[in-house]
């Protein structure tokens, strides 16, 4: 079994201080490499620094919607982000997107508009540099899911990959995104949760339409799969999610591995 983890955070504690150990343990479970994803200026820089130390590690840099409070000037933040994109280890932009989960209702509209502006700025940057875009979308109702579709339709050109990280949401939302070109869907350890039948429905929907769109990720240190749910998610645990996807959902793990390299345009950099 070969796995490329398309989304994890070796650049966040408690993983960062011991990342070589976690990386080695993951290799022992078949994890050939991974994409280290940034969420703000500090984690972006760490993602690049760590990725430089191993040939099969790569960096994704972006500003997460929950980190809006760290931005004093959108234009300055985007300019700083753009300075990182010439680094050879940077192969994608994100994670960016919309996160309306547990919004402060009194400032909901202001937060929505600010997140829209932040997302659109990173969409434009991804188009300019012809890089894949990694989307984080979360809401306790359908609003964020519908609005991200509208923003993508308005601003994206579908020339490079669009990755729906830790995919969730209504099936109608998935169905729309699934029919766009170059879209991929990342599934995490929560796919194994007993109460996650919606995620398994999404997996089957994508699988039946085109299983070349399926990716596997850990989002480590978050979302440890069963039987580790609630504990620190270590990179090696993606093997458990992969086995679950194969045995319970009929996933083709060789195909998913190839999908991962294709989605991020690194198919010539890592052996198949």
Inside any domain, residue 43 = yes
Decide if 6 contacts 34 (C-beta within 8 A): yes
Q: Identify which of 180, 146, 151, 147 has the alpha carbon closest to the alpha carbon of residue 163.
A: 180
Task: Look up residue 225 and give its DSSP letter.
Answer: P
Decide if 173 contacts 192 (C-beta within 8 A): no
Overall number of domains in the chain: 1
**C-alpha torsion sign, points 88, 135, 68, 79:** positive
CA–CA gap between residue 46 and residue 23 (Å, rounded): 15
pLDDT digits (tens, 9 = 90+) for 199-228: 999 999 999 999 999 999 999 999 999 999
CATH of the domain at 178: 3.20.20.140
Inside any domain, residue 226 = yes
pLDDT digits (tens, 9 = 90+) for 130-162: 999 999 999 988 999 999 999 999 999 999 999
Element (H, E) at 6: strand 3-8
Q: How confident is the model at residue 68, as a pLDDT? A: 83
Inside any domain, residue 269 = no
Q: How confident is the model at residue 270, as a pLDDT? A: 66
Mean pLDDT for 238-245 is 98
Decide if 59 contacts 95 (C-beta within 8 A): no
Inside any domain, residue 270 = no
Q: Identify which of 97, 60, 88, 31 has the alpha carbon closest to the alpha carbon of residue 256.
A: 31
Q: How confident is the model at residue 140, as a pLDDT? A: 87
Q: What is the reported pTM?
A: 0.95
Mean pLDDT of the chain: 95
Whether pLDDT at 272 is above 50:
no
Inside any domain, residue 272 = no
Least confident of 196-205, 231-240, 262-271: 262-271
Confidence of residue 271 (pLDDT cuts 50, 70, 90): low
Domain encompassing residue 94? 3-263
Inside any domain, residue 235 = yes
Inside any domain, residue 221 = yes
C-alpha R_g of the chain: 17
pLDDT digits (tens, 9 = 90+) for 30-88: 999 999 999 999 999 999 999 999 999 999 999 999 998 888 899 999 999 999 999 99
Q: How many CA within 13 A on the CB side of residue 42?
A: 6
Inside any domain, residue 189 = yes
Mean pLDDT for 160-175 is 97
């Amino acid at each position: 079994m070969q796995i490329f983890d398309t989304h994890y955070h070796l650049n966040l504690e408690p993983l960062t201080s011991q990342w070589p150990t976690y990386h080695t343990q993951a290799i022992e479970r078949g994890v050939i490499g991974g994409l280290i994803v940034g969420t703000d200026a500090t984690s972006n820089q760490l993602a690049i620094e760590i990725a430089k130390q191993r040939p099969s590690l790569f960096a994704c840099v972006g500003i997460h919607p929950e980190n809006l409070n760290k931005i004093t000037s959108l234009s300055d933040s985007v300019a700083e982000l753009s300075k990182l994109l010439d680094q050879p280890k940077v192969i994608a932009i994100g994670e960016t997107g919309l996160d309306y989960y547990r919004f402060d209702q009194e400032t909901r509209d202001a937060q929505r508009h600010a997140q829209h502006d932040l997302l659109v700025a990173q969409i434009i940057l991804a188009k300019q540099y012809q890089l894949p875009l990694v989307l984080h979308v979360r809401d306790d109702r359908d609003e964020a899911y519908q609005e991200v579709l509208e923003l993508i339709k308005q601003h994206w050109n579908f020339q490079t990959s669009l990755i729906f990280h830790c995919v969730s949401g209504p099936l109608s939302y998935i169905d729309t995104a699934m029919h766009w070109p170059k879209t991929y869907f990342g599934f995490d350890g929560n796919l194994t949760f007993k109460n996650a039948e919606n995620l398994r429905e999404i997996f089957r929907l994508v699988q039946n339409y085109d299983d070349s769109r399926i990716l596997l990720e850990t989002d480590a240190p978050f979302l440890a799969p069963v039987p580790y749910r609630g504990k620190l998610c270590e990179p090696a645990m993606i093997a458990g999610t992969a086995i679950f996807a194969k045995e319970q959902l009929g996933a083709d793990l060789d195909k998913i591995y190839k999908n991962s390299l294709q989605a991020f345009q690194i198919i010539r950099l890592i052996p198949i």
